Amino acid sequence: MATQKNASPEKSQKNDTDRAAAFKAFLEAHQQERHAVILQEYPDPDAIASAFVHQIIALKYEITVDILYSGTISHQQNRALVNLLKIELIPFSKDHDFSQYDGAIFVDNQGGTARELVKVLQKHKIPMLMVVDHHEPQDILRPEVSDIRRIGATATMYTQYIRAGLLEMQSGNEDHVKLATALMHGILTDTSGFLLAGPEDFEAAGFLCQYQDVEILEHVMSQERSKKTMEVISKSLTHRMLAESFSISGIGYLKTGDRDAIPQAADFLVTEENVHTAIVYGIVTGQEQEDFLVGSLRTTKITLDPDDFIKDVFGKDSQGQYFGGGKHTAGGFQMSLGFLSGGHGTDYQKVKWQAYDTKIKERIFTKIGYDQGSETDSES
């Protein structure tokens, strides 16, 4: 199992069989163990669904799987997915007993968006066993086995494992109906309703539709935006700056529970006329957690690679790891504010935000070759 681009239908089918065989061999080699499946902070439907399926497949090999994440599940659709399908996720806690795990599996991420958990795993010397992901290679972990490739969704990859024989689906099995529904939601969201889907994603969806619960899927997909999300979208529109067909918006401070409003705001801004790329960012604060500067990128420009763009703009941290990355038409970045976390009153927060806002815009302007002094494109 290794990084691979799309192949011909015949070769693709053989590759799917080979990957499933490698996955099966991996599971057989780790029977009766206990694994931690690690999701990115603020996990999305693709990650949640893929981890849920991994958990069910692993049970066949007497492997106990806990699904762990840090951050919060704040997006309204994600909360509905977890609640309606009763998917058990364990939020990160420093009191959690990590010594019980024989290894860690990374699903829909490669450690770069789960750094807090990676540090704890490394502290407890827990082996990094496996990575299954569809983002660009990040070269952060050295797992025993990896399957990283360009494809619409990680949920598509797990559907291929199922179709290749790792799980025999039964329409009357409640768990199988739940996993098919979750996988379909993961594919839908990560391919923008199939607009960005490839042949593999359509094939996976065609298979899953035989088992999914349409009513639950429709209920999950129809969740309304929260009032706070609408306020963040409105704020992003008010504070956006237009430059070279980029819409750039710093929205200031928001609480941890509202973090998922940032990508939703970027989704909204990129729909504006004459805009091909939207970047929205803000400082996410928590009462007991460290503050982070978090941002999302959305683009409709075919020649703009979100992964390259974000890595070029924001670079690496002191450990040599990139602050962000991306896939297809989307990307994200996150950086700790370190000792600048917290606040000392309104004036301090205002100064801190101005410093970060200025620096972010400066880096983006340099990347796109925009001279802010030559014209005034700001709209407010």
One pLDDT digit (tens) per residue for the chain, 380 residues: 544 444 555 556 668 888 999 999 999 999 999 999 999 988 899 999 999 999 999 999 999 999 999 877 878 888 888 888 889 999 998 889 999 999 999 999 998 888 889 999 999 999 999 999 998 888 889 999 999 998 999 999 999 999 999 999 998 899 999 999 999 999 998 888 887 889 999 999 999 999 999 999 998 887 777 788 889 999 999 999 999 999 999 999 998 888 889 988 998 999 999 999 999 999 988 756 678 899 999 999 989 999 999 999 999 888 788 888 887 788 899 888 876 776 666 788 888 899 999 999 999 999 999 987 655 444 44
Contact 69, 43 (CB under 8 A): yes
Q: Any idea how long the chain is? A: 380
Taking the C-alpha atoms of residue 108 and residue 327, their distance in angstroms, rounded to an integer, is 11
Taking the C-alpha atoms of residue 262 and residue 232, their distance in angstroms, rounded to an integer, is 7
Find, among 155, 165, 127, the residue nearest to 29 by Cα. 127
Taking the C-alpha atoms of residue 270 and residue 351, their distance in angstroms, rounded to an integer, is 29
Would 9-221 and 227-368 be classified into the same CATH topology? no
The pTM of the whole model exceeds 0.75: no
CATH superfamily of 9-221: inorganic pyrophosphatase (n-terminal core) (3.90.1640.10)
The three state secondary structure string of 18-64 is HHHHHHHHHHHHCCCCEEEEECCCCCCHHHHHHHHHHHHHHHCCCCE
Contact 107, 50 (CB under 8 A): yes
Give the domain ranges of the chain.
9-221, 227-368
- What CATH number does the domain located at 227-368 have? 3.10.310
